[in-house]
Amino acid sequence: MIKTFALTHASALQHIADCFGLDYLGIDCAETPDGQLLVFEVDSCMIIHNLDPIEAFPYKQDAMQKVFAAF
């Protein structure tokens, strides 16, 4: 799902990144039922934590561990 989402919206996500011109940024977004990218928030700071219950957000675990390892 994540790989499909990233590939589907790669052009729009790249455009957002190009507009900001930063090394990294946070994007809070989703896909609408008709397949459009819906952006809620774009910012220059991200807070990544593992305080949420795993049962509620099981998809976050792999991504958070990659960020924690890179940091």
Q: What is the pLDDT of residue 40?
A: 94
pLDDT tens by residue, 2-20: 579 989 999 999 999 999 9
Using the predicted structure, report yes or no on whether residue 1 has a pLDDT greater than 70.
no
As given in the structure block, the two tokens for residue 53 are 């219950």
Contacts 24+ apart (CB under 8 A), 47-54: none
Domain ranges, residue 66 = 2-70
Rg (C-alpha) for the chain, rounded Å, is 13
Number of domains in the chain: 1
pLDDT tens by residue, 49-65: 888 899 988 888 888 88
Pairing of strands 37-43, 26-31: antiparallel
CA distance 63 to 66: 5
